[in-house]
Amino acid sequence: MPEKKNEGNHESRRSFLRNGALAAAGFMIVPRHVLGRGYVAPSDRLRVAAVGVGGKGYSDITGFAEGPADINFLCDVDTRRAADAVKKFPKAKFYTDFREMFEKEHKNFDAVSVSTPDHQHAVAAMGAMQLGKHVYVQKPLTHDIFEARKLTEAAKRYKVVTQMGNQGASGDGVRQLMEWYNAGAIGDVHTVYVWTDRPVWPQGIQWPKSSAPVPSELNWDLWLGTAPKKDYVEGLVPFNWRGWWDYGTGALGDMGCHLIEPPFRVLGLGYPTSVEASVGSVYVDEFKRGYFPESCPPSSHVIMKFPTKKGKEITMHWMDGGIQPERPEELGPNEMMGDGGNGVIFIGTKGKMMCGTYGKDPKLLPTTRTLKVAQTIARVPEGHYVQWVNAAIAGFDSAKAKALSSPFDIAGPLTESILMGNLAIRSYDVREAKADNKGFNYPGRYIKLLWDGPNMKITNFDPANQFVKRTYRDGWSLGV
């Protein structure tokens, strides 16, 4: 839970959490029939408070509003980005600081949507859950592995209904892939290739040397949130923050939850046991490689090993920056692989299958192959957003909540696995001065990192563990 630096802060926080708990404990759902026909009970509609309402945040709350949800509160640190949401939901009260909104309005909403930059996901989501509020959080669930583990645990502790914003998890495509695989269509999968054309923003670059005036519509200090204090620079807000480790999680964080989710679900993957990475180089002069550890690399290839219940391993290759795997020999020379820029290929002992982003357009290979299997997995006709709204209204432990596509007990481990790739990528830039002080060694390169998933620890290269959990700026805490 983030803390504000002011007098009486600790007592204010205790009061905030105590009052929130009391409010949650005192809430009682009154059956509709008791109130009379035609009366809409409070429990029949979900009252939503949104943190981050520009861009993706705007489309998120618009999606909720297609179901039995009321968008009662809007919060954004940038009034320019919030303008469309304010216009669309004129009755919603607007805040700039989500902490203030939580403190003043927690009795007046049931659920929170979090669509901020990655570095603020965890503190906003945890603060909401500590108040007993259901949460929907954009992907990736968190910025750090530690945060993902703590949010997963908190969802169960506070008994709230959760969903991550990887919409493909509710699509028909991943369910078709599961049914094919469960029917033995491609045998046992041993290798998976996943690729993306991201980043589509600058990466592998130096932090700007000159600062710029902060736009009057932007609260820069609140935007920085948990991240280190820095001067405002041009070109970071509202989108290019994705390429900087202080705020974003690069191409893997941006697209991994959409592309790795199908194999994660189809194959029932858990924590990886090892990870290794190679990254694209940026040369600033002849034979002089640039060193920009604050920025994500322009491209990367990550290899993760996952154990299976049968005692074997599944190897997953992640490729970004436009790098793609070899075309399967079963795919015709003019047939599209995946959806072009992105895709997933499953290689099994008896065949192959592939899909595009979000698990869309699943195909058995060769594409002329057809296989009719019984539909054994329920579809989600209401879609990802309304599914969560309905589940939140039904409540924790309800059948609807148990049927959610991406609750934190699924989204948390998925996010941890994705961020494992980033841990390896960042370890590539760990350096130490040579004994003669002439240059540097890079001990995190060209090695395989061994991962102890339950304990969130790399066991053979301790410097990599600094990327499991970052240090928040003073005034911010996860509250665990």
> H helices within 89-195, ranges in order?
98-105, 121-130, 145-157, 172-182
d(CA 258, CA 165) in angstroms, rounded, equals 9
Average pLDDT over residues 2-20: 41
Q: How many CB atoms lie within 10 A of CB 365?
A: 20
If one counts every other C-beta atom within 10 angstroms of the C-beta of residue 416, the result is 27
d(CA 379, CA 364): 20
pLDDT at 132: 97
Query: Which pLDDT band, with edges at 50, 70 and 90, does 3 fall under?
Result: very low
The pLDDT assigned to 311 comes to 87
343: closest CA among 321, 369, 319, 367? 319
Helix (H, G, I), strand (E, B) or coil at 420: helix
Read off the tokens for 98.
């989500």
Residue 43's pLDDT band, with cuts at 50, 70 and 90, is low
- In angstroms, the CA 108 to CA 111 distance is 10
Task: Give the pLDDT confidence score for residue 42 in this predicted structure.
Answer: 52
What mean pLDDT is predicted for residues 368-387? 97
Burial of 86 (0-12, 13-18, 19+ CB in 10 A): middle
pLDDT in tens, 17-37: 434 333 333 333 333 333 333
CA distances (Å), origin 56, targets 12, 85, 114 = 32, 11, 10
Collapsing DSSP states into helix, strand and coil, what is residue 391?
helix
Average pLDDT over residues 311-320: 96
Give residue 8's pLDDT.
40
Tens digit of each residue's pLDDT (9 = 90 or more) over 148-158: 999 999 999 99
**Mean predicted confidence (pLDDT) in 239-247:** 98
The pLDDT assigned to 412 comes to 98
How sure is the predictor about 147, in pLDDT bands with cuts at 50, 70 and 90? very high
Contact between 190 and 313 (Cβ < 8 Å)? yes
The helix/strand/coil state of 42 is helix
Residue 310: band (very low, low, confident or very high) from pLDDT cuts 50, 70, 90: confident
CB burial readout 460-474, b (16+ within 10 A) else e: ebeebbebbebebbe
What are the tens digits of pLDDT across the range 174-216?
999 999 999 999 999 999 999 999 999 999 999 999 999 999 9
Strand partners, 285: 288
CA nearest neighbour of 25 among 33, 35, 17: 17
Q: What is the mean pLDDT of the chain?
A: 92
**Among 425, 455, 109, 53, CA closest to 245:** 425
Task: Calculate ∠ Cα 240-408-315, nearest 5°.
Answer: 75
pTM of the model: 0.91
At 309, the pLDDT band (50, 70, 90 cuts) reads confident
pLDDT single digits (tens) 260-274: 999 999 999 999 999
Asked whether residue 14 carries a pLDDT value surpassing 90, the answer given is no
What pLDDT score does 10 carry? 41
Residues constituting the chain: 480
Q: Which one, of 25, 49, 158, 43, lies nearest residue 111 by Cα?
A: 49
